[in-house]
Amino acid sequence: MTPPYDDVRVADLAGARHIQLHRPGSLNAWTPAMGRELLEAVTDAAGDPAVRAILISGAGRSFCAGADVKNARETTADGTPDLSGRLREIYNPVILAVRTAPKPVVGMVHGAVAGLGASLALACDLLVAASDAYFLLAFARIGVMPDGGALTFLAERVGLTRAAELAMLAEKLPADRALDWGLLTAVHPPDEAFDRAVALTERLAAGPTVALASIKRTLGAAAQRGLADALSEEADAQQVHGATHDYAEGRAAFAEKRTARFLGR
């Protein structure tokens, strides 16, 4: 039996486990509490021999809008915003748990797939999208870099040029274009996408689990060896960003719904 959660819903499928982000009023934006519950749910599913595949989705209008900007940030001893603590303690371990789970993980995305939500989606082995889904890495708009392994996953899947385009220009990537780029397994109409994702997950759950785990491990061997280091480097870089003028300006501009005036420092 899986424990009850506040911000995550868990249900069993045929040989599989469905984990749903469940903060629909906030577009499933990450908070530390949701991150901890998600980590526990993924870890539990990964270690349960009765679970042979995992499906991750989001409730409501979107998969995930990224980190919850309304959630107050901690500060360091010198008063600088602490942009690395939650990454190291909660969010990065979730990404690593998805990548190291010895069974296939399917992501089903719709609406906004932004920020850490995009990182979580890209950590999945196979990714099914509703046609209304779009990816957005808007980190640069507030003076920071993408985290959660997004750059590592993107460079691996679509190459450096397209990864730089998404990260530096911070523009939306719609589902049909993401499919063309190779980020997605399939795109379906919104009223069909979830059922298609369930069918795919249950198909994987009925497969040769040990062999599928070996395929996953071998395909991700090079990336996984470097992923933990990349996540650590991201956390270090985010902490540097937290002390810049541009981060403070980006946050203020976001809150005030205006264009940021970056100074490059």
Alpha helices in the chain (DSSP H): 32-47, 85-86, 92-100, 116-123, 150-158, 160-169, 175-181, 190-205, 209-219, 221-242, 245-256
For residue 138, the model assigns a pLDDT of 93
User: Which two tokens mark 7?
Assistant: 């911000």
For residue 247, the model assigns a pLDDT of 82
Top mean-pLDDT range of 147-161, 174-188, 231-245: 174-188
For residue 224, the model assigns a pLDDT of 60
pLDDT tens per residue, range 75-86: 776 767 777 778
Question: What average pLDDT does this structure show over 147-163?
Answer: 93
Residue 110 exposure: Cα atoms within 13 Å on the Cβ side: 23
Res. 205: pLDDT tops 80: yes
Triad 39, 45, 46: Cα angle to 5°: 85
For residue 106, the model assigns a pLDDT of 98
For residue 211, the model assigns a pLDDT of 96
- 120: nearest Cα among 57, 193, 27: 57
pLDDT band at 180 (very low <50, low <70, confident <90, very high): very high
- Which sign, positive or negative, has the C-alpha torsion 38, 163, 99, 135? positive
63, 111 Cβ separation under 8 angstroms? yes
Residue 101, phi then psi, degrees to nearest 5: -60, 130
For residue 4, the model assigns a pLDDT of 85
Range with the poorest average pLDDT among 23-27, 36-40, 41-45, 152-156: 152-156
Give the burial class of 67: count Cβ atoms within 10 A of its Cβ; 0-12 exposed, 13-18 middle, 19 or more buried: buried
The CA-atom distances, in angstroms, between 100 and each of 14, 46, 105 are 22, 9, 10
Res. 223: pLDDT tops 80: no
**Percent of residues, the chain, with pLDDT higher than 70:** 95
Res. 254: pLDDT tops 80: no
The CA-atom distances, in angstroms, between 21 and each of 18, 26, 74, 153, 184 are 10, 11, 23, 21, 20
Question: What average pLDDT does this structure show over 236-265?
Answer: 83
pLDDT tens per residue, range 90-139: 889 999 999 999 999 999 999 999 999 999 999 999 999 999 999 999 98
- 182: nearest Cα among 115, 122, 223, 110: 122
The CA-atom distances, in angstroms, between 220 and each of 39, 144, 197, 224 are 20, 27, 22, 6
Question: What is the model's pTM?
Answer: 0.90
Structural domain boundaries of the chain? 8-190+208-256
For residue 73, the model assigns a pLDDT of 65
For residue 84, the model assigns a pLDDT of 75
Question: What average pLDDT does this structure show over 241-245?
Answer: 83
Q: What is the rounded distance in angstroms from the CA atom of residue 186 to the CA atom of residue 106? A: 11
First CA to last CA across the chain, in angstroms? Answer: 51
Beta-bridged to residue 106, according to DSSP, are 55, 126
As assigned by CATH, the class of the 8-190+208-256 domain is: alpha beta
Mean pLDDT of the chain: 91
pLDDT band at 241 (very low <50, low <70, confident <90, very high): confident
**Percent of residues, the chain, with pLDDT higher than 90:** 67
Res. 1: pLDDT tops 60: no
Give the burial class of 2: count Cβ atoms within 10 A of its Cβ; 0-12 exposed, 13-18 middle, 19 or more buried: middle
